[in-house]
Structure 1
């Protein structure tokens, strides 16, 4: 009897994982790859999850406060060599776009607070970061980042407009951000 129950539970778990995988893949199929980013047309964008948490430098963050702005999330860790390589490009893109109603937020994963703070200081990162050691925030996205580093760009309505799994460079990221800003130009 125990073997049957165990087998039935295993089959249910496998089916659940398979269905979840199909749903996530379906979300990605709504989008197209362009210059290394998975970009979604406005009518094909899924809504971003609720993103809240403790900021690395103190205080808290709630995505709801940035409604109406383009939001760039970058998932990173101090232990990640590609994160080090992209830090300057992210900061330059942040500086170049912050006057256009664009917000940048790092999401630090699998790290200690001291190492994450040292990373930000050493690499000149001036935008805030959520402190998310278990990486729970990434799991809530329909189109998950699935890698570190990863960058997700939300449009002004809080929908996932673009995803990049892997390091970014300013020459690729800034045009994506500017295109999404231009969609909602007032």
Structure 2
């Protein structure tokens, strides 16, 4: 990435953050209503979850995507970059949980940030089978209160599309699988 592109991406993120802060009136963030575990995982009780974020964009393969098409499923959203060593380390674990839970109505979605499309495609090849949105400016991360500098990060959405869990660190299968299973087992009425 050229210095000018990097500056433009940072500027866009700052402007978007300022706009989101201005809209909130300096009030409480949705994550303030949730519990944070000692290891930094944010978990929201069903009655404290924020409204579903609106997420759409272009997948790495060039096709369009809208998160609304996965409503009714638990969706695991992973923010990653090909330049990110922890992202490389967690890819096999994410794929393992994806394969183990897709029969239970769980979908996985990657969000590639601060990257080039060719590098992102090369990274994904042979590592994961689920799709990834191409988001070089990290705009989607802002909808989740995931700072662009906290890559990797994983967000678990409940069946109603609301944020249930945010993990701002690399994940491993033994950590992620019980979280996904718990959210997938929630009664549909509370979602």
TM-score by length of 1: 0.83
Instruction: Tell me the residue number matched to 1:33.
Output: 36
**Cα distance in 2, alignment partners of residues 29 and 53 from structure 1:** 28
Instruction: Tell me the residue number matched to 2:146.
Output: 145
TM-score by length of 2: 0.81
How many residues were matched structurally? 166
Instruction: Tell me the residue number matched to 2:63.
Output: 59
Bigger shift: residues 69-78 or 27-36: 27-36
Instruction: Tell me the residue number matched to 1:174.
Output: 177
Say what the alpha-carbon RMSD is for the aligned residues: 1.9
Whether 2:114 is the aligned partner of 1:110: answer: yes
Q: Are the aligned partners of 1:53 and 1:61 in contact in 2 as well (CA < 8 Å)? A: yes
**Cα distance in 1, alignment partners of residues 27 and 168 from structure 2:** 19
**Cα distance in 2, alignment partners of residues 139 and 145 from structure 1:** 6
Which of 88, 94, 97 is the matching residue for 2:92? 88
Bigger shift: residues 57-66 or 111-120: 57-66
1:23: Cα distance to partner?
Answer: 2.8
1:21: Cα distance to partner?
Answer: 6.0
Asked which structure has the greater CA Rg, the reply is 1
1:139: Cα distance to partner?
Answer: 1.2
Q: Which runs of 5+ in 2 are unaligned?
A: 1-17
Report SS of the residue matched to 1:23: coil
Report SS of the residue matched to 1:152: strand
Residues 31-86 of structure 1: CA deviation (Å, up to 9, x unaligned): 11346521110001002311001000231110110111100100000000110111
Q: Are the aligned partners of 2:111 and 2:133 in contact in 1 as well (CA < 8 Å)? A: yes
